[in-house]
Structure formats: C-alpha cells, structure tokens
Structure 1
Amino acid sequence: MDDLSPSDLKVILHSKRANMYYLEHCRVMQKDGRVLYLTEVNKENLYFNIPIANTTVLMLGNGTSITQAAMRMLAQAGVLVGFCGGGGTPLYMACEIEWLTPQSEYRPTAYLQGWMGFWFDDDKRLAAAKSFQQARIHYLQHVWQKDRDLKSEGFDFEDKSIQSALDLFFTRTQAATSSQELLLTEAQLTKVLYKYAAHLTQNAGFKRQHEATRTVAIGKANDFLNHGNYLAYGLAACTLWVLGIPHGFAVMHGKTRRGALVFDVADLIKDALVLPWAFVCAKEDATEQAFRQQILQAFIDHKALDYLFEQVKKVALQALTEQQIDAIENDQVGDAL
C-alpha cells in the first residue's frame, strides 16, 4: 500500500473526529500503511487497527511502546500522543501529559492573533473568563435537560437547590472584578453540584479528594472524577492545539501555570458530564473501563469537542467582523486580517 499524504489523512476535522484511545500493555507500530497496536492474549499475538484519520488523542499507559514509523503517521494525521499512568491517570510525571505535536504542519494563526488581541488587557481577559463561565452553565443546562439517562438518575436542572445556586453564581460572576473572585464563585457552585449528586446517588459524607482511594464508594467517586477530568483535559488540549493557541494564555486559572488554559477550557464540560457520571458509576460500582467508556460515549453524544471548539473560537474571534470570520473559516486568513 502506498503511503498516504498528510492531506489525505486530514480529511476529518478534529472537532468531528469520534475517537480517543487509551492503550496499555501493547506496542503501537506501523504496518502496511496503517497504525496498529500489538497485544498478546493466551500467548497469541493480536493486531488491532487504529483509525488515525478519525482519532483526536492517543493516550499510552503502562507497558506501552511506540515506533518511529507509527509516530510519523500519527503526526501526519494530526493525532495528539501522550503518556500517562494506568487507567489514563495520573498524568505523566504526575503533573501533565507530555504531548508530542507534529512539527511539519501549518495551523491557523488567526485564533492566536485574536487571543493575543485581548489577553494583555486585564478587563478584556476578565470578560473572556466570564464568557466561559456563562458557556459552562449553558452546556450544563443543555446536557441535563436533554440526557434521558441522567434524568432517570434524578438529575434535574430545574431543581430548586440548583437554581438557587445558579442565581447566586450569575450575580457574583457579573459583579466579579478579578479572576480570583471568579474561581471562588466557581468553587462554590461546584460544591453545591457535588452535594446534589452525592445526595442523588446515596453517597452520604462525600468529600472531594484529589488523592482518592478505591476501597469504598466515596473514594471511587473521587477516583472517577479525577479520571474523567483528565479525559476532559485531553479534549481541551486537542482543541487548543488545533486552533494554535498556547496553553499558557489562561483567562481564569493562574497565569503562571503553563497549562492553565487547558483547565479553563475543560471546565466548560466537566460539570455537565464528568461530575454526574462519576457519582452514578460509583453508585453502580462500575469498573474504571466501564466508567471511561461511559464518559467517552457522553462526550460523543453531547458533542463535547464540538462545543469546546465553538466556544474557544467565539472568544478568540470576538473582535472580528462576520466577514473576517467567514474568511478565516474558509482558510482565507490573510485576506481576513
């Protein structure tokens, strides 16, 4: 089979790609013009194809290796490759995935230019952070009102406790004069959501712990929250990489943290999807694999990656005219600017 060119492999937009893979105890390689992973079952070698043109992120966990030829094809297809611990967490070096991004490629500069156009202005950066907070709640409302499975578990966006917390959230967000105030307001809302989800799933006494144990349901909910959050970080990192916006230009989390913008973007979907399913799966005593499959399916069902692209592009291009934005979307960046 002839090698595919990079243009052949990038026919599917990243925002429309369906797959994010986590692999462990296998070898990733290139064979006959395809990227495969090799694993051993009952002393028999088994090969499985990875559809790289329809994949956003490849996470390599315990006991994995990858060949240079496979990395070349993944780079051509624009797939982000990262190294992590077992089950997708913790992240490599206990702090972050070391993303290997392709160097011989061209990404749009308009989104970075638009981001830089407001980022150095404190007031405009704060306004962008508030816009993200509004989008976060809009997505929460959209998911919780639409998802039948979450409704059957009792998650109701119109619940009085949720609406009361949101009224306070919107009031404080509107009045906030710094990113620290926004972070405090966000934390207060998330605390209410934790309490609400814990009550629905009979998880009395739940306390958020980032170093969770797996021996009891309380610990399992924490573990699932950590696991699901890392998957959301993967989608956020993919979004920012495709749009060419460095992870250090955060609008709400600490500007001294190199990857803080990843946290800002991931927050758009975490409360709506990761939080409720972490508690539901903990109640059902699900395995890590079952939880991961549930979260990834929820990302697909509710077009989480689409939403991240939509909101980041909206903030990045807020100062441009409709004609300029249309030109950018049609790869006419030079004429637009």
Structure 2
Amino acid sequence: MDDFSPSDLKTILHSKRANMYYLEYCRVMQKDGRVLYLTEAKNENQYFNIPIANTTVLLLGNGTSITQAAMRMLAQAGVLVGFAGGGGTPLHMACEVEWFTPQSEYRPTEYLHGWLQFWFDDEKRLKAAKTFQQARIHYLQKVWQKDRDLKNEGFEFNSEQIQSALNTFHIRTDAASKQSDLLLTEAQLTKVLYKYAANNTNAAEFKRQHQPDKNNINKANDFLNHGNYLAYGLAASCLWVLGIPHGFAVMHGKTRRGALVFDVADLIKDAIVLPWAFICAKENATEQEFRQQVLQAFTDHKALDFMFDTVKGIALQDYSTHDIEAQNL
C-alpha cells in the first residue's frame, strides 16, 4: 500500500474529527502506510489501527513507545502527541513543551493577525477575556439543557442555586477592570459548581485536589484531572490548526505558561468534564469508562466545533470599529 500524502490525510477538518486516544503498554508504529499500535497478548501480539485522518490528539501513557516513522505520519495528519502518566495524568512535558505539534508553518495566518490586533491592547484583551467567560456560560446552558443524562442526574441549569451563582458571575464579570478580577470570579463560580455537583452525587465531603489520589479514595478529583487534560488536548489542537501560539492568553497569562490552551479548554470544562467526573465517581467507574463517557460527550455536544467557532469569532472581529462580540454562539 502506498503512503498517503499530507493532503490526503487532512481531508477531514479538525473541527469535525471524532477521535482522541490514550494508549498505554503498547508500541506505536507505522506499517503498510498506516499507524498501528501493538499490544502483547498472552499467546500472540495484536495490532490495532489508529485512524489518524480522523484523530485530533494521541496521549501516550505508561509503558509506551513510538517510532520515528509513526511520528512522521502523525505529523503529516496534523495529530498532536503528548506523553502522560498513568490514566492520562499528569501530562509530562519534554523541554517544557506541552504538546509535540506538527511543524507545518503552512497554516492560516489570518487568525494570528486578528488575534494580534487586540492582544497588545489591555482594554481589548480584557474584552476578549470577558467574551470567553460569556461563551463558557452559554455552552454550559446549551449542554445542560440538552443532555438528558445530566438532567437525570440532577444537573438542572435553571436550578435556583445555579441561577443565583450565574447572576453574581455576570455582574462581577461585567464590572471587572482587570484579568485578576475575572480569575477570582471564575474561581468563585467553579467552587459553586463543585458544591452543586457534590451534593447531586452524594459526595458532600469533596475537596478539590490537583494531585493524584494514590489511595483512590476520591475518584472525582482524579476524573477531573483526567478530563481536564482531554480538554487541554482539544484546545491545543484547535490553536495549532488556527496558527495561534499558546502564549497569547487573555485570562491565565500571568499565572501559567502556554496559557491560551487553558483559556480555550475552560470553554467546555464546566459543562462536560465537571459533571461527568462526579457522576462517574459516584458510579465507581474505571478510568477507561470515564474517558469513554467524556469523549462521547465531547462528540455529542460538538465541543471542538464550539472551540473553533469561539476562537475564530474573537480573532476575526473588527476591533477598529466595534466592541468584541461572541460569534456563532
């Protein structure tokens, strides 16, 4: 079978790609013009195909290796590759690079040019940050009102507790005069959402911890970490396709390097990762079951499409005559 050309591999738009993979204890290689992963079974080795033309992110966990030929084909297809610990967390970094991104510079430039129109202006950058905050709430509303499974678990967007928190959130967001005000408001809302989710799933003693729980007592924390890394993968893929460097953050720039990835990932974390982390913890799900649930929710609610639409809308806004407005929301 002949090798595909890079143009053949990019026939599926990144915003429409359905797959993210986390692999462990296997070897990723190129064979007959395809990217495969090899696992060692008891009696024989088994090969499984990775449909790279329909894949955004490949996370490699414990006990994995990858060949140079496979990396070349993944780069041609525009697949981001990251190395992670067991269960997808933490994300390990090589030379402080979060993601191994394909080194193609033949990407669109208009989004970077648009981004730079406002990024060096403090006032415009603050307005862009507020747009991100408004967009994440719109997406939260859209997902929670549409998803029957979340409703069955008690996640009601119109509940009094959620609406009260959102009213405060909107007032403080509109009044914010600097990014630190937005970060504080965001943290306060997230705290309410954690409490709401914990009450819904009988996890009243939940306390957020970002370090892995070695005793596996509180699975919700581990699932939150795991799901957040999946969201970071989608965000990194979105930004790579649009040609916008991770350093041009609008929210987290002073607290985290490569922070635009975190800004974009925040668009979907509250709506999808947060509730499913608590639900799956209540059901004592495995890491794989949680991952499958979250990835399916990303697909069902077109999370990557939403990221692309929001980032493109902010980048292409005419900043010379109009205030920033969220596009395609």
Task: Determine if the TM-score, normalized by the shorter chain, exceeds 0.5.
Answer: yes
Deviations 1:110-166 (A, max 9, x none): 000100110000000000000000000000000000000000001100000100000
- The TM-score normalised by the length of structure 2 is 0.94
What is aligned with 1:327?
none
What is aligned with 2:177?
177
Corresponding position: 1:251 with 2:250:
yes
Q: Is the CA contact (8 Å cut-off) linking 2:247 and 2:253 kept in structure 1? A: no
Q: Which range is displaced more, 169-178 or 89-98?
A: 89-98
Deviation at 1:96, TM superposition (A): 6.7
What is aligned with 2:43?
43
Q: Is the CA contact (8 Å cut-off) linking 1:214 and 1:223 kept in structure 2? A: no
What is aligned with 1:334?
none
Are residues 100 and 252 of structure 1, via their aligned partners in 2, closer, same or farther at CA, if it must alter by over 3 Å?
A: same
Structure 1, unmatched stretches of 5+, are 322-337
Corresponding position: 1:235 with 2:234:
yes
What is aligned with 2:317?
318
Deviations 1:247-281 (A, max 9, x none): 01110113463311111110000000000000000
Q: Is the CA contact (8 Å cut-off) linking 1:249 and 1:255 kept in structure 2? A: no
Once residues 162 and 94 of structure 2 are traced to their aligned partners in structure 1, the CA distance between those partners, rounded to angstroms, is 34
Amino acid at match of 2:108: P
What is aligned with 2:189?
189
Q: Is the CA contact (8 Å cut-off) linking 1:28 and 1:64 kept in structure 2? A: yes
Q: How many residues align?
A: 320
Are residues 33 and 124 of structure 1, via their aligned partners in 2, closer, same or farther at CA, if it must alter by over 3 Å?
A: same
Q: Is the CA contact (8 Å cut-off) linking 2:29 and 2:35 kept in structure 1? A: yes
The Cα RMSD (Å) is: 1.6
What is aligned with 1:324?
none
What is aligned with 1:335?
none
What is aligned with 1:272?
271
Amino acid at match of 2:176: A
Once residues 213 and 246 of structure 1 are traced to their aligned partners in structure 2, the CA distance between those partners, rounded to angstroms, is 33
Identity %: 79
Q: Is the CA contact (8 Å cut-off) linking 1:28 and 1:70 kept in structure 2? A: yes
Alignment of 1:74-153 (within 5 A): 74-93=74-93, 98-153=98-153
Deviation at 1:291, TM superposition (A): 0.5
Alignment of 1:40-79 (within 5 A): 40-79=40-79
Once residues 94 and 128 of structure 1 are traced to their aligned partners in structure 2, the CA distance between those partners, rounded to angstroms, is 31
Amino acid at match of 2:203: N
Once residues 183 and 161 of structure 2 are traced to their aligned partners in structure 1, the CA distance between those partners, rounded to angstroms, is 20
Once residues 140 and 151 of structure 2 are traced to their aligned partners in structure 1, the CA distance between those partners, rounded to angstroms, is 13
- The TM-score normalised by the length of structure 1 is 0.92
